[in-house]
Structure 1
Amino acid sequence: MGEGVSGLTVVNGLGRYPRTRPRRLRGAEWSRKLVAETHLSTSDLVWPVFILDGEGQREQVASMPGVERLSIDLLVEAVGEAAALGIRSVALFPKTDPSLKTSDGREATNPDNLMCRATRALKAAHPEVGLFCDVALDPYNCDGHDGIVKDGRILNDETVAVLLKQSLVQAAAGADVIAPSDMMDGRIGSIRDALDGAGFEHVQIMSYAAKYASAFYGPFRDAVGSGGALKGDKKTYQMDPANTDESLREVAMDLDEGADMVMVKPGMPYLDIVRRVKETFAVPTLVYQVSGEYAMMKAAADNGWLDNDAAVLESLLAFKRAGACGIFTYAAVEAARLMRGC
């Protein structure tokens, strides 16, 4: 305890009531905005979208209210509308025709697959929009896993060999960011070397570096059509939710291998991981408000248990406050409209 400026009694560096009243700064909206420590904008948002084959096709994802799978023509239109609201990036996830799924996931390396066709169409129509292309085998193999499965084991190095080919066809199609979400060891370095060797040194890599084996992914697996095929779980390659130090090791390895950005996934249950990663490495750190988080929020709002608009914006602000520079959220378009008052 001691005396501060003009005789103000100070305790641990803070003024004492009644001379110091924190509520003074909260009394008016202009003042609250002036002293706000965290700011959310449309440029912080990445909109994950689900792609469907065909033309003029849209399908509601039953477990994700307000989310649809769109054929490429409708997706081009939707991304244009999102861009007009200030959303500068989208992340692409295909629902592959089951007839194209094989145990080796070879459709992932087809330069004319659904993902590559959508990438070319979007880049031609909206060159200013950044495209994050997912790299993993779960939309393409018949096992529902992110890697190649043999005798119940997910093969690491054999999977990486496919992932780098998948990355190359996506880069050739116009991907701005290759986003490996598979959690195989060593894949970032192998993909970086492959991209650089093929003249794609300008293509960024965003690593899903701290991706946890979470219970919150179920609706996403419905959306891409991999959930029904999944045998067992993903605990041998995705991270244990009990661990935090391990996330720092994973991030350090991926950065050393050439990642430009890193991802923490899921979001709200892992805000502590976002903060630790950001404070430890001071690198671009993104977070994913995953399908289960989104579905819970929407279900509660639909039942009148939450104010939807307030909950959407508060949840996104929490990610920014934790240290994220970008947020993958299915509510991106909705949040952009709310921020713009439309």
Structure 2
Amino acid sequence: MPDYLRAARDAGCEPAILEWLAAAQELVVHIPALQAADWAERRVGAHQLSDALAERFTLPGPSECTVIERRVPTRSGELTVMHYRPAVRGSRLAHVAFHGGGFILGSVREMVNDRLWRARAVAGGVDVFDVDYRLAPEHPFPSALDDGLDVLDWLLEHGAEFDIAPDRIGVGGTSAGGNLAALVAMHARDRGVSLDHQILEVPAGSLHAEHDESFRNYRDLADMGGDFSALRAAYLGGHSDTSGPAAPDEITDLAGLPATLLITAELDPLRDSGEIYAARLREADVPVQSWRAPGQLHGSGSLTKNSETARDWQNRVAEFLRSRVALSSAIAS
């Protein structure tokens, strides 16, 4: 039995998580591309693994959500943005989303993202815009951040075409995507743009999380354990201080950031970095809702077919979005 699976069992993880980890281990053996030196080939393998797991462990998204592939002009060329549009009448709330993948993997075309965003759009009553940002190491920091800011600028300019007002746009992301969402929110504030909300799920709150107690305790429960420094180097590339903060813990002024939902997982190496950021936001008088998902790992929030806690996780996000829809609608009227 693999060490991380044994560690999960020793930590008392629920059967759904143990089944997920075991399935992943079985699949990895049959996907040699995961070990490829070429990043493009490795991403093909990661996509194959992700889709196989999502098929088995993530509930399909509702069919009543319309999905439109949009091509958005940015400073680096056109980017793909998947627009998830529920059947909502009148003015809409937008949620700009950033997938996870350690800054080096992930795609808007992965089944897990499609299923979760469909469900979130319908349950939350929001238009989700999932950004296919550029990945490291070919495109190191701040490339992905620039992509996020450019998509936000595009939506601010063109939102009226989708019945979205400029003050009814929020951001969110998971893991590396949570890092990007937090930085986009900071830059938007600094440019005088008032975002409606930010949803940060198991965010990479620090690029030096190996110093945190949660990282030391739970590094054996996630793939990032032995490779975090290499992952950081791949993402930062030639990053210098002049590029600005590369993680939420580097943001010095948190005042004026949008209402926040921040979810951490109990057995996640990145847990402490996320919870420290939530505490700092509160100290800066930012409205914050936070929740530590009990018994959960870094990526187990997607296990909605098998885990009641994962379904609770997704329901909490949808409830937060519904509350933002209700509030913005009340203000508009």
Which has a greater percent of helix?
2
TM, length-normalised to structure 2? 0.37
State the structure with more CA Rg: 1
TM, length-normalised to structure 1? 0.36
